[in-house]
Structure 1
Amino acid sequence: MLSIIQAAGWPIWPLLLCSVAALALIFERAVALRRVRVAPNGLVDEVLQVLRQGIPSQDVIGKLAANSTLGALLASGIRVVAQDPRCSETLLRDAFEAAGRSAAHQLERYLNALATIASAAPLLGLLGTVIGMIEIFGSQAPGGSGSNPAQLAHGISVALYNTAFGLMIAIPSLMCHRYFRGRVNDYLHDMEQGSERVLHHLVRLTSRAVV
């Protein structure tokens, strides 16, 4: 592998940096997008069960916010009701929407960078191949009297290492980006449904407080 890298020339070094960055982003997103950290199963039902006994204390709300991304979203609405038991539904919905936008931004973090690597890696590989081909043909003697077909074929194969390496980086990066994007969409759907359930329950609590 080291000999291939040395033979491919300097254009392969940006590709190596892209490969390291892609691996780091994939590992980070794989850890950050685990369900237990984003939207644990049964969390909404547990929150509704607690709310049936009344608005929890600030300590309980703080623990809910630290539980997960969904917990922080639900805690944002509960905190509004805890501060003002007679708040309007519009105010509650605005709080949930603001927290939802923040959660979506957090879940989508680094996905654009991973998509950029998936798009740029093949182009960087093609650039390295073109540069290698230019150097190969430029080194041949004019008129072909000093050319060596075997050496020329070997030089072209070496130049194609850049394109192959670029594709080796781009294909897994693109697949992981699609996978993470699908998980984020699923999480956002679950969080939207869960926040709607909690919102309706909080609206009933505020209506009782007004009466």
Structure 2
Amino acid sequence: MTNRAHAAVAAVFLTAPLFAGPVAAQDSPAAPVPQIAAEAPAVSSPVTPAAPAVDVPAAAAPAAPSGTDAALTEPADDVPAAQAPPPAEPLTQQEELAQTARDAAAKAVKFLRDGGPSIWAIAALSVITLALILWKIWRLALIGAWSRGKAGRAVEAYERGETSAALAIVKGRIGIRSRVVATALTALSTLPENRAREETARVAKLHLGSAATGLGALELIATIAPLLGLLGTVLGMIAAFQALQAAGSRADPALLAGGIWEALLTTAAGMAVAIPASAALTWFEAVISRIRRDIEDSATRLFVAAAPAELKLAAE
């Protein structure tokens, strides 16, 4: 028993340092084991780059403004939606016509400025030409240039011997054919044949001359409009070559080309005025020639159909 007690005491003394070591290690702050455990995660686990990106904006972000300044610091995506203009309303027909007229007027003014002085004269001639053509069409329609029914029926009635009916058909008419036929019928009934012929020819010439009024002006415009265009072209070419000479060795071909095309505008404008004037002149002359032919035909038929006066014999 004594030996067993001595053995138990010896075992207690031998195992006492083993239990005292861990307790001392936990109480001591300078133990090497906690330091190795603290440095081990820093070496074994890598530092991720996302950590600084998250921390820096959080630290540098300014405080949100208050009041009206807060509305100005909204995200940029909301600004276009708030400042977007309302959709444009479609233009009405009158507004479209007004816009078209304004554009045409601007182009016309630019064309007149580029053409020089000659283009203004040609523009005035174009206005006069248009007015003459419209006036001449109205005048020919007024004198019955395209109407020949009444005069033809009157001549046919006279050929049948119905003198009073023929005169009633054309009496008071304003057509040139009807007037000449009415004059011929009246002259045949009141004057001798030779004097009736002279009276009919006089009235026919008078009305035909009135119908030809304005054709001389159209002929003049058709002649001088291209000449004015050529004059403007020559003056523009002179100005272009003068500018080219002044430029000397630094001459730019574009300068010469610009002067040439501006000078050629007057030639094109002159032809644009002369061509309609010449065409209208030819048409009006053809209409008047047809009127003259109808008048001559009607007068000849009237005088041929007139019954010759009975000659009295000398014995009677």
TM norm. shorter chain > 0.5? yes
Cα separation, 1, equivalents of 2:146 and 2:247:
69
What residue is the counterpart of 1:177 in the other structure?
A: 281
Cα separation, 2, equivalents of 1:48 and 1:163:
52
1:200 equivalent in alignment to 2:310: no
1:80 to 162, 165, 187: 187
Aligned residues: 202
Amino acid at match of 1:207: A
TM superposition score normalised by structure 1? 0.83
Task: Within 5 Å, give how 1:11-160 maps onto structure 2.
Answer: 11-34=118-141, 37-38=144-145, 40-48=147-155, 51=158, 52-55=161-164, 60=168, 64-82=171-189, 84=190, 87-142=191-246, 144-160=248-264
**Is the 1:124–1:166 contact (alpha carbons within 8 Å) kept by the matching residues of 2?**
yes
What residue is the counterpart of 2:54 in the other structure?
A: none
Cα separation, 1, equivalents of 2:188 and 2:297:
19
Q: How far 1:143 sits from its partner (Å)?
A: 7.2
**Is the 2:155–2:298 contact (alpha carbons within 8 Å) kept by the matching residues of 1?**
no
- Unmatched tracts of structure 2, length 5 or more: 1-107
Secondary structure of the corresponding residue to residue 207 of structure 1: coil
Secondary structure of the corresponding residue to residue 144 of structure 2: helix
Cα separation, 2, equivalents of 1:89 and 1:145:
86
What residue is the counterpart of 2:272 in the other structure?
A: 168
Cα separation, 1, equivalents of 2:235 and 2:175:
49
User: What do the CA deviations read for 1:159-200 (whole angstroms, capped 9, x no partner)?
Assistant: 100000001111111111111111111121111111222233
Q: How far 1:150 sits from its partner (Å)?
A: 0.5
Cα separation, 1, equivalents of 2:135 and 2:115:
30
Cα separation, 2, equivalents of 1:190 and 1:75:
14
Amino acid at match of 1:117: I
Amino acid at match of 2:218: L
**Is the 1:80–1:92 contact (alpha carbons within 8 Å) kept by the matching residues of 2?**
yes
Amino acid at match of 1:193: D
Secondary structure of the corresponding residue to residue 13 of structure 1: helix
- Unmatched tracts of structure 1, length 5 or more: none
Q: How far 1:49 sits from its partner (Å)?
A: 5.8
CA distance 1:48–1:183, shift in 2 (3 Å): closer
TM superposition score normalised by structure 2? 0.57
Amino acid at match of 1:137: F
Amino acid at match of 2:231: L
What residue is the counterpart of 2:15 in the other structure?
A: none
Cα separation, 2, equivalents of 1:74 and 1:161:
51
**Is the 1:44–1:198 contact (alpha carbons within 8 Å) kept by the matching residues of 2?**
no
**Is the 1:65–1:73 contact (alpha carbons within 8 Å) kept by the matching residues of 2?**
no
Q: How far 1:96 sits from its partner (Å)?
A: 1.2
Greater helix proportion? 1
Cα separation, 2, equivalents of 1:198 and 1:106:
23
Answer with 1 or 2: which has the greater Rg: 2
Q: Highest relative contact order (Cα 8 Å, sep 6+), 1 or 2?
A: 1
Instruction: Name whichever of 152-161 and 32-41 sits farther off.
Output: 32-41
What residue is the counterpart of 1:4 in the other structure?
A: 111
Cα separation, 1, equivalents of 2:263 and 2:276:
22
Amino acid at match of 1:198: L
CA distance 1:48–1:175, shift in 2 (3 Å): closer
User: What do the CA deviations read for 1:105-126 (whole angstroms, capped 9, x no partner)?
Assistant: 1222111211111111100000
Q: How far 1:54 sits from its partner (Å)?
A: 3.7
Cα separation, 2, equivalents of 1:101 and 1:120:
29
Identity of aligned residues (%): 27
Secondary structure of the corresponding residue to residue 232 of structure 2: helix
